[in-house]
C-alpha cells in the first residue's frame, strides 16, 4: 500500500522533535560533515528547495554522506553508473497541478485546477558507482571566517530592513516594522548573531507590504504563533546554508518544541506549508541582492 507522502515526512520531523532535535539544524551538528554546508543538489547542480532540503539533509546525516549530490536510479544509469546492490533510496517530493475539463449540468465545459503531490526516490552519489569523477570531489573547505561574515553583513544590509540595536531581546516588531537586535558584542559568536538576524528577517518578510504572511495569530503562544516561528526557524536555516553560516539553536527553541509538535500532529501538511513559506521568505531576501553581471562576448 502506498504510504501517504505528507504523513511519512511529518512522522520523521515529529520523531526528531520528540528527541529534542531540530531536523533543520542536524547538518551542522553532525561530526561527519567537515565541509561547507550547502543545500542538497540535483545531478545537474540545481539546488533542492523547501521540504526536500530538510528531508535530504536528514538522509545525509543518517547515511553519513558528505556529497550534496542526489539523483534517481534512472539518472545514474544515464551516466553509465549503477546504484550499489542493497542501497535504499530516499524520499523527495514533487508538487504541481493538473488542469481537468469537466462538463457542467448545462452542457458547458469548465476547467478545474487540481493540486497533486507525488514522491520518488533519489540516491546520494556515495551510494552509486561509476559516475564521472566530479561527483565524488570532496566538499569545499569552509570559507575564511572574516570573508564569510563580511558577506553576511552585506547580504542583510542590502535588504534595506530597519535593523536597530540595543536591549537583550531579538524580535521583529510589526507595529513599527523594525527588527530589534541586541548589540553584536553580546552574542556568543559572530555566526550566532547572523543566524539570529536571519531568523528575525524571515519574520520581517511577513509584513503585508512584503509577503503578507498571516497564520491567524491572535496571541502569544497560540497555533498561529507556533506556525510563524516554525517558518522563521526554517527560513534562518535555509539562509544560513546559502550564506555558509553555522546556525545555533536559539535559547528559546526548547520552549517552542511542544507547540510545534502539536501543530504537526494536528496537520500532516503543516511542515510542507512552513517549508514553502520559509523558502519564499529566503528567496524574497535574496532578491534584494545585486545580480551578477553577464560577461560580455566578443573581443576584449
Q: What is the pTM of this model?
A: 0.81
Residue 220 in grid coordinates: 502569544
pLDDT band at 86 (very low <50, low <70, confident <90, very high): very high
- What is the per-residue pLDDT for 83? 97
- What is the per-residue pLDDT for 14? 92
Residue range 107-154, pLDDT digits in tens: 788 888 888 888 999 999 999 999 999 898 875 555 556 666 899 999
- What is the per-residue pLDDT for 102? 82
Residue range 164-210, pLDDT digits in tens: 998 888 999 999 999 999 888 888 888 889 999 999 999 999 999 99
Lowest mean pLDDT among 1-5, 86-90, 201-205: 1-5
Give mean pLDDT, residues 10-30.
Answer: 82
Average pLDDT in the chain: 86
DSSP 22-83: -GGGHHHH-TT--S-----B-TTSPBP-THHHHHHHHHHHHHT----BEE-HHHHHHTT-EE
Place of cell 502539536: 262
Coil, strand or helix at 260: helix
Amino acid at each position: 500500500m502506498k504510504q501517504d507522502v505528507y504523513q511519512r515526512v511529518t512522522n520523521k520531523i515529529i520523531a526528531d522533535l520528540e528527541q529534542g532535535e531540530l531536523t533543520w539544524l542536524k547538518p551542522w551538528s553532525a561530526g561527519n560533515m567537515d565541509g561547507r554546508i550547502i543545500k542538497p543538489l540535483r545531478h545537474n547542480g540545481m539546488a533542492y528547495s523547501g521540504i526536500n532540503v530538510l528531508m535530504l539533509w536528514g538522509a545525509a546525516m543518517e547515511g553519513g554522506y558528505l556529497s550534496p549530490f542526489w539523483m534517481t536510479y534512472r539518472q545514474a544509469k544515464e551516466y553509465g553508473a549503477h546504484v550499489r546492490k542493497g542501497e535504499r533510496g530516499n524520499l523527495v517530493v514533487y508538487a504541481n497541478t493538473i488542469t481537468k475539463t469537466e462538463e457542467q449540468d448545462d452542457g458547458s465545459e469548465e476547467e478545474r485546477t487540481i493540486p497533486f503531490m507525488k514522491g520518488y526516490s533519489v540516491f546520494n552519489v556515495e551510494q552509486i558507482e561509476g559516475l564521472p569523477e566530479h561527483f565524488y570531489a570532496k566538499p569545499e573547505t569552509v570559507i575564511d571566517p572574516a570573508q564569510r561574515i563580511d558577506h553576511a553583513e552585506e547580504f542583510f544590509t542590502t535588504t534595506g530592513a530597519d535593523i536597530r540595536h540595543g536591549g537583550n531581546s531579538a524580535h521583529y516588531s510589526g507595529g513599527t516594522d523594525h527588527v530589534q537586535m541586541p548589540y553584536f558584542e553580546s552574542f556568543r559568536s559572530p555566526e550566532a548573531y547572523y543566524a539570529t538576524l536571519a531568523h528575525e528577517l524571515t519574520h520581517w518578510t511577513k509584513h503585508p507590504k512584503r509577503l503578507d504572511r498571516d497564520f491567524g495569530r491572535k496571541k502569544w503562544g497560540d497555533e498561529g504563533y507556533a506556525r510563524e516561528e516554525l517558518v522563521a526557524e526554517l527560513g534562518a536555516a535555509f539562509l544560513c546554508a546559502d550564506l555558509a553560516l553555522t546556525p545555533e539553536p536559539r535559547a528559546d527553541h526548547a520552549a517552542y518544541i511542544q507547540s510545534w509538535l502539536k501543530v504537526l500532529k494536528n496537520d500532516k501538511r503543516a511542515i510542507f506549508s512552513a517549508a514553502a513559506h520559509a523558502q519564499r521568505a529566503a528567496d524574497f531576501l535574496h532578491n534584494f541582492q545585486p545580480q551578477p553581471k553577464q560577461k560580455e562576448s566578443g573581443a576584449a
